[in-house]
Amino acid sequence: MHYQFSVKSPQQQFIQIKATFKAKEDVTILEFPTWRPGRYQTADFAKKVKHFQVFEKDGKRLDFIKISKSTWEIDTNGVKDFVVDYHFYANELNAGSTFLDASQLYVNPVNCCIFNPDQIEGEVTVELDIPSEWDVANSLETKNNKFTAQNYDELVDSPFICSSQLQHAFYEVKGTKFNLWFNGIIKPDWDMLISDFVKFTDKQIEKFLEFPTKEYHFFFQILPYKAYHGVEHKNCTVITLGPSYAVFSELYKELLGVSSHELYHTWNVKSIRPIEMMPYDFTQENFSELGYIAEGITTYMGDLMLYKAGVFNLDQYLNEMNSQLQRHFDNFGRFNYSVAESSWDTWLDGYELGAPGRKVSIYTEGCLIAFIMDVLILKATKNKKGLDDVMRSLYFNFGKRGVGVSESDYKDAIKNVAGDSFDWFFEEYIHGTKAYAALLVDCFETIGLEMNHEPVKDPVAAWLGAKVIQDNKTKVVAIYPGSAYDLAGGMLNDEILAINGVKVNADLHRWVDYFLEDIKAFTVERNGQVLTFTIPVTNRPFYQRYWLTTVEKPDKNQVNAFDGWRNTELGGRGTKELHV
Ligand SMILES: [Zn+2]
């Protein structure tokens, strides 16, 4: 297969693509990918295709029909080679999209490269018809605006950026070259960046013993507005972050967090991959219950590696854990749907708020469950081993050999490391919806951490159980089940107009505070009607804030467990951080 990308009239944001195929039968089927790895949800990229035409090499038009939303059937009777000519609408700029304007051509080939399912194993060549002043940032070696991928899989796992704004530096760790590319408005603080990246890269390689590829690229698309998104690939990652001015200040910890997360994916998901996605099938959903491994363990390890590498201090690390705890306790979906079920359903509503209390996040629950598993292994091995050891064995026994991982493989790996596969834990907490707050508290305590909670500062959420956003209007955006606001008959999207007959002016918090002991009536506008209802007396807090601290006087067991948790066997040096 061969693809040519051209960028005439970039202001219209259509990329002109010519894809050349060989015909072997009277009829040739061509497909468009319906999703992209990293986002396990149907995207139907074919909706961005227009001006679809097919020609023989000599320019003669060929007939075709569409036989499904992303599939074409081409009449190739008596034809050897043919060219599909189409325009792809490149108007979206995130870490997994394709974008064109006068300043850049940014391509995730999985969005826009039509393919012949019978020819995906063959070599793919690409030619870029772009302005001469544009450079190309690509993990596939590009010369004279041309590059080659071994097969279609490698092509669609290799995003690239063509732009005149690219800034580049690199560092090396244990024989692998790591490239850092920035595109957009940004003044990189190279010294700080490279110093921190070397540390967490080194720590991750130390845990896995080797890096899966010879060279790696971080592609940062820096945007002038708020953005935070990363997508993993085998040899690279694309990360969008913004606004520009905050990237090396307030947002720097996000830059580190997402970069460490994406780098960890090089092992976990690009190499250690759920068996259902081996190989990826771009034409339909690839259902899997293992999102708690692919995204959960990566979320846990991404931040933990920053701490283990000394890039984050303990406070910074605990802050990240606090956010996960908060998301866990604020989501009542944990009583309805297990993390395994939620993983299956990412294809349905995994990337949207969806029906309240229906599902959980594979990132948040997966991260907390990975932490518990880490501590369970630690306890079972006298602080010698942890989840690092399990992941390393999955890498060498499965990922590196190109074999997909099932849940029973994961459990076997745990059993090999810890002597126990913790069946009860999988049954009750990964496939079940049993509350695990007590187990979390226990695991934190094991390593000398304490989980604290108190009613949130916002009195409306704390004492009435309604979360509101206030700008021009005061809107209810979440309700705690069984809370005063719920029992009163309050509904999501209520616009709160008055409390005890007093009109609120973006100051509901103050009025609730003021009336706290004798709140009687709320007046709301709901679907065009104004109504007043009575708030029952409940005298208990609803939404709470959760945060971790170190215990005041850790005992010897806690200090040893903490050191083990931070280091595990291959980690080397001990730390005395818990002592101070
Ligand atoms: Zn991820």
User: pLDDT tens digits for 435-474?
Assistant: 999 999 999 999 999 999 999 999 999 999 999 999 889 9
576 pLDDT band, cuts 50/70/90, is very low
Distance CA 310, CA 203 (A): 9
Q: What pLDDT does residue 567 have?
A: 85
Would you call 111 helix, strand, or coil by DSSP? Answer: helix
Q: Which string of DSSP letters, residue by residue, matches 228-252?
A: EEEEE-SSEEEEEEE-GGGTTTTTH
Q: Which string of DSSP letters, residue by residue, matches 31-93?
A: E--S-BTTB-S---GGGGEEEEEEEETTS-B--EEEEETTEEEEE-TT-SEEEEEEEEE-B--
Q: What pLDDT does residue 48 have?
A: 98
Average pLDDT over residues 66-71: 98
Average pLDDT over residues 322-340: 98
Ranges 61-70, 114-123, 284-293, 563-572: which has the least confidence: 563-572
Two tokens at 329?
């306790």
Average pLDDT over residues 466-485: 96
Q: Given a cut of 70, is residue 569 above it in pLDDT?
A: no
CB 117 within 8 A of CB 123: no
Average pLDDT over residues 317-332: 98
Residues with CB under 5 A from ligand 1 (ion): 295, 298
Q: Output the CA 216–ligand 1 centroid distance in Å.
A: 17
User: pLDDT tens digits for 372-402?
Assistant: 999 999 999 999 999 999 999 999 999 999 9
Query: How would you class 60 by CB atoms within 10 Å of its CB: exposed for 0-12, middle for 13-18, buried for 19 or more?
Result: exposed
Q: Output the CA 510–ligand 1 centroid distance in Å.
A: 40
Q: Output the CA 271–ligand 1 centroid distance in Å.
A: 13
Q: Given a cut of 90, is residue 167 above it in pLDDT?
A: yes
Distance CA 551, CA 578 (A): 9
Q: Output the CA 38–ligand 1 centroid distance in Å.
A: 7
Q: Given a cut of 60, is residue 501 above it in pLDDT?
A: yes
Q: Output the CA 59–ligand 1 centroid distance in Å.
A: 45
Model-wide pTM > 0.85: yes
User: pLDDT tens digits for 486-497?
Assistant: 999 999 999 999
User: pLDDT tens digits for 232-289?
Assistant: 999 999 999 999 999 999 999 999 999 999 999 999 999 999 999 999 999 999 999 9
pLDDT > 70 fraction of the chain, expressed in percent and rounded: 98
Two tokens at 393?
């064995």
Is beta strand 49-56 parallel, antiparallel or unpaired with respect to 81-89? antiparallel
Residue-averaged pLDDT of the chain: 96
**What is the b/e burial string over 184-221, where b = at least 16 CB atoms within 10 angstroms of the residue's CB?**
bebebeeeebbebbbbbbebbbbbbeebbeeebbbbbb
Average pLDDT over residues 400-426: 98
Q: Output the CA 306–ligand 1 centroid distance in Å.
A: 16
Distance CA 471, CA 465 (A): 19
Helix (H) or strand (E) holding 472: none
Q: Output the CA 266–ligand 1 centroid distance in Å.
A: 10
Query: How would you class 160 by CB atoms within 10 Å of its CB: exposed for 0-12, middle for 13-18, buried for 19 or more?
Result: buried
Q: Output the CA 316–ligand 1 centroid distance in Å.
A: 20
539 pLDDT band, cuts 50/70/90, is confident
User: pLDDT tens digits for 13-65?
Assistant: 999 999 999 999 999 999 999 999 999 999 999 999 999 999 998 899 999 99
Q: What pLDDT does residue 197 have?
A: 98
